[in-house]
């Protein structure tokens, strides 16, 4: 089995990239919502999208924290 086909060989990089993409989108939303010319309805949609992204990011961080803790326990 090649290194890239082993479970987890590419997953962390992909997860990290996805997290970075979500973070970038949240940052963009914050800038757009802060703009004085943003439409109120558009702002509400963007804020809602931002909260969904933040929840997904928190969930990802929680899962990662659990994995790291399990690794720590496995290697003690």
**Kindly report the CA angle at 39 between 38 and 43, in degrees rounded to 5?**
75
Q: Does position 2 have pLDDT exceeding 90, yes or no? A: no
Q: Which of 11, 14, 18 is nearest to 56 (CA)?
A: 18
- How does pLDDT run across 3-31, given as a tens digit for each residue? 444 444 446 777 778 999 999 999 999 99
pLDDT at 11: 63
Cα distance between residue 70 and residue 48, in whole Å: 33
pLDDT at 64: 93
pLDDT at 3: 44
Its pTM stands at 0.74
């Amino acid at each position: 089995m090649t290194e890239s086909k082993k479970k987890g060989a590419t997953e962390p990089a992909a997860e990290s990239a996805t997290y970075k993409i979500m973070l970038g989108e949240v940052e963009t939303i914050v800038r757009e919502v802060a703009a004085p010319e943003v439409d109120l309805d558009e702002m509400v949609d963007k804020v809602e999208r931002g909260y969904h992204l933040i929840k997904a990011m928190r969930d990802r961080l929680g899962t990662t924290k659990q994995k790291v803790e399990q690794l720590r326990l496995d290697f003690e």
